[in-house]
Amino acid sequence: MKSAYLFVFLICYVACNSDKEAEIEDKKKKIIEQLTSTRPVIKEGYQLVTRHVGIDVYMYRSYRTVSVVFYPVINDISDALFTFQSEELHLNNIGSCSPRDVIIHLKYGSYPAVNPDGYAFPKSFIDSDRRENMYTVELLSDGNNITFSIKNPKPGIWYALAYIKWEDPRTQKVEQEGLVADCHTILYTDLQLKSDDTSRYMNCYKPLSLEYNTLPTLFKCKSEDNLKPIKLDLNIATTTVPNSKITVRVQSESSPTEDNFILYCVFDPSVNNNQIVTFHAFPNAVHFINLDIIEENTFNITDCDSYAMSDIDETDNQTLVSLMRDDKDRFFAFDYGLPTTDLQDVTSLVNLSSNEIRSMRFEINQFIDIGGSLTIETSLLMSLKYYMGYKRELKKGALLAFTEENQFFKVVVCLDISHASVPLESGHCKFNDRIKPALFVLNSTDSDSIYDKVIIPFPEGAVWYVTFRLFCDSVVCPCRTSHNGTRYYVDTTENSGEIDTTTFSNVTREGETECNATVVLSISSNSCVNGRCSNHGNCGINTFSGLVMSFCSCSSGYGGWDCSDESRVDSHFYMMLAVLLLTLSNLLFLFSIYVAIIRFYFVEAVMYMFTMLFSTFYHACDAPAQIAYCIMRGNMLQFGDFYCGLMSFWVTLLAMSIISLKLRSFLQMIGAIIIALLTTWNMHSFVAFLIPVACGAIILLVSWYLDYKKTKQVKYPRSYYTTYMPLGMALVSVGLICYAFLQTEQNYKIVHSIWHMIIAISVVFLLPDVKRHNINPFLPNRDLYSSPFWKVLNRREEP
């Protein structure tokens, strides 16, 4: 008896004092030592500015499982050299760890917004081409390091997003902890910077004279905090070298490269040694100006003479306003708008006229603002008649009438980071040589075009500029559109069907050159997407190394950035079938309960009953949200399912043992406590299953051996040893194989249902019918029914 107590004590001690975290840290230190021994050598001329050692990297499931690293880059850097090295950390002695694909995204100013799981971004999301470039690096976690170089990087904070390459979870095995290799991927990364001290300061607003033989050369100057263009006055000493031209390449914040510049032009100093180049600049920023000699063909390079003041005159009436920030009391919750005393609303009414350009700016702060999503909404403020469906009258039988109350006009809206561009009537935005589509084009002739919206996930930490320009329609083609009420001011008369529409494409009218309009502007930030994740997910916060970001955790098979993508959602019939399989398969425990009762195993019958109930209601609650039914919290049902399942194994093994009733009751109570601790410790661990089953098996075998040694004969009928017990053990073995090795996310509903049924049936064959004699093991004792019912509940001593 004392040995049994000692054995139980040792089990409790091992289970309760195992420090897995200490083991992980110890092994992690060894891997880090290996990484340190193979660390890259600092290159000559480079300076190691930061490094991150032992970063945990996980399989991508959502932004909850990504790892984030930031790198500070200072000014005047010609090369940023990023080094990455990944290794597998083997935490147990089972199997081996194979190298895995690690994906790293690098981006300036904010976290990279990616969808590794293949879902498309929502339609309202901004086009990635409008944002900072993102670089992708792939490596294996095999201990080899790779380097990635970025020439002339922007100064500021660069962010890296690291994760293990996504795999479809529906095709992955459901691995039981403790049966397979426990592998963790860790990452080492550092940043080496190479300084560039070749540039010289100059004044952008004063003439610059230099000798031809000093080229190439690099200057830098700081612009003023306004939107006025810079007039760069270059004076080159006369040269007699034929066919030698000079290129001017300008870039903000960093040295220009062949692909990265805001202005690139060429001029011939032998024709005119005084060259004026006027260009738009980044407000309050350092600009690098590279002057170089080029002798090759320059037909594909813009002539510097094209940068004349006449091209910049249109920005003379450009105004700049800084928006007010309105902070909320939640993560990433703030608004921007024109200064106002209204405490409830920061929506701005922007009054526009056709002879001005209005720019507004607001600042997104590094670290504290970049983890949410920025929403920008604009709408034309139309008259009440417009919203009531007022139709415009015809003029001269074919032309649309023009009134001051409802003019034809459009507003072009541009969005830029760190600078303001010029809206064009074509619906584009121009910044020096760069032309890109406008963010919005609001058109008063179309009710679907008076409003637009864009969402920017993880906005860059910088100063953002929103620029408005109003254009009056001087010429309008009154083409017909649909009659469903979504298009206004077209086909307005009751007899519009009699109008010859074939002439519409050639008919124009005289419009207006000056007009006015009001635009409603809303700029707001929230966690996730507008503070929520549609109706199919929860908005969470991921903190990593002091960095914070919001993310959507989707449920019910939904996916995408805001959990609105239902392309991989199972049909309602399929979900119902899966839930019915997982729940109704537990009904076979009714047979186990019946057999336990007729054989007078009442404690065991109670455990089988609770196992059936908890498993049934847990799987009903764990179903997709569309069909889930929970009688209590899911974590309570999950605990009950695992706990009662382990207790069923424990009491069954004790029932098979040849021990006294008092010792059995004692071991059942001890097991109930230990199994509760193990289930609370880690219900998914194989150890939590192995300890009670192994202890029960040892008690079973020892009791059988001692009884046989004492009596020289077996306790149970011969048929139990030759038929029932082997059949029950075979069923349990098949069930354990299915549970531990054959389950995947795709076949879980089938395999796990088979596991329920096999375990329920196996109990019928494993419980020995020792309390009755000469009775069919699957039929009740008929004498039991002839006695009063209370006699059934009397305690029965074992024979």
Quick one: average pLDDT of 127-153?
Answer: 91
Question: How much is the pLDDT for 393?
Answer: 46
Which one-letter amino acid corresponds to residue 62? Answer: S
Q: How many CA atoms lie within 13 A of 353 on its CB side?
A: 6
Nearest in space to 176 (alpha carbons), one of 616, 744, 697: 744
For the chain, the distance separating the N- and C-terminal CA atoms, rounded to the nearest angstrom, is: 22
Residue 192's pLDDT band, with cuts at 50, 70 and 90, is: very high
Q: Are 288 and 251 in contact (CB under 8 A)?
A: yes
C-alpha neighbours within 13 Å on the C-beta side of residue 57: 31
Position 523 pLDDT exceeds 60: yes
| Lookup: tokens for 231 | 């007039």
Q: Distance between CA atoms of 617 and 637, rounded to whole angstroms?
A: 7
Nearest to 672 by CA among 603, 756, 755: 603
Domain with CATH 2.10.25 in the chain: 531-568
pLDDT at 783: 55
User: What's the whole-number mean pLDDT along residues 601-616?
Assistant: 92
pLDDT (mean) for 669-697? 87
Give the separation between CA 49 and CA 153, rounded to whole angstroms: 14
Continuous segment of H or E residues that includes residue 539: strand 537-544
Closest CA to 760 of 643, 611, 655: 611
Q: What is the pLDDT of residues 314-353, one digit of tens each?
A: 667 889 999 999 998 888 999 999 987 776 777 889 999 9
Question: Alpha-carbon distance 340 to 343, whole Å?
Answer: 8
Quote the pLDDT of residue 70.
93
pLDDT score for 510: 53
Portions of the chain given CATH number 2.60.120.680: 23-35+47-195
* C-beta of residue 689 within 8 angstroms of C-beta of residue 710: no
Q: Which residues are CB-neighbours of 244 under 8 A, at least 6 positions away?
A: 269, 270, 293, 294, 295
- Assign 20 to helix, strand or coil: helix
Query: Checking DSSP bridges between strand 77-90 and strand 67-73, what pairing results, if any?
Result: unpaired
Structure-token pair, residue 399? 């032309």
Mean pLDDT of the chain: 81
Q: For 207-216, what is the mean pLDDT?
A: 85
- What is the C-alpha separation between 407 and 630, in angstroms, rounded? 58
DSSP 563-618: S-B-TTPPPHHHHHHHHHHHHHGGGGHHHHHHHHHHTT-HHHHHHHHHHHHHHHHH
| 741-789 per-position pLDDT tens digit | 777 777 888 888 898 999 899 988 888 887 777 777 777 776 554 444 4
Q: Using the 8-state DSSP alphabet, how is residue 274 labeled? A: E
Is 388:485 a contact under the CB 8 Å cutoff?
no
Q: How confident is the model at residue 450 (pLDDT cuts 50, 70, 90)?
A: confident
Tokens of 426: 């074509």
429/773: higher pLDDT: 429
Q: Where are the beta strands (DSSP E) in 126-244?
A: 134-140, 145-151, 156-164, 183-195, 200-201, 208-210, 217-222, 230-236
What integer is the mean pLDDT of 28-55?
75
Share of the chain above pLDDT 70, in %: 81
Length of the chain as a residue count = 799
The one-letter code for the residue type at 474 is S
**Among 140, 4, 114, which Cα is nearest to 60's?**
114
| Residue tagged 């930030």 (tokens) | 525
CATH code for the domain defined by 23-35+47-195: 2.60.120.680
Contact 187, 96 (CB under 8 A): no
Average pLDDT estimate for 117-141: 90
What tokens appear for 179 in the block? 């049966």
Distance between CA atoms of residues 440 and 419, nearest Å: 17
Confidence class for position 683, pLDDT limits 50, 70, 90: confident
User: CA 222 from chain center: how many Å?
Assistant: 38
Decide: 161 and 42 in contact? Cβ < 8 Å. no
* 113 has a pLDDT exceeding 80: yes
> Residue 505: pLDDT band by 50, 70, 90 thresholds?
very low
pLDDT value at 506 more than 50: no
- In terms of C-beta density within 10 A (0-12 exposed, 13-18 middle, 19 or more buried), how is residue 125 classed? middle
Burial (CB count within 10 angstroms: exposed 0-12, middle 13-18, buried 19+), residue 598: buried
The model's pLDDT over 461-482, given as tens digits with 9 standing for 90+, comes to: 999 999 999 988 765 444 443 3
Residues 714-728: tens digit of each pLDDT: 888 888 888 888 998
Specify the fold of 531-568.
Answer: Laminin (2.10.25)
Residue 785 is classified by DSSP as H
pLDDT at res. 446: 64
Predicted confidence (pLDDT) at residue 499 exceeds the cutoff of 50: no
Both tokens of 293, joined, read: 């000699």
Q: How far is Cα 767 from Cα 650, in angstroms, rounded to an integer? A: 12
- Please tell me whether residue 541 adopts helix, strand or coil conformation: strand
Q: Scanning the structure block, which residue is given the tokens 């083991």?
A: 23
Question: Which fold would CATH assign to domain 572-793?
Answer: Rhopdopsin 7-helix transmembrane proteins (1.20.1070)
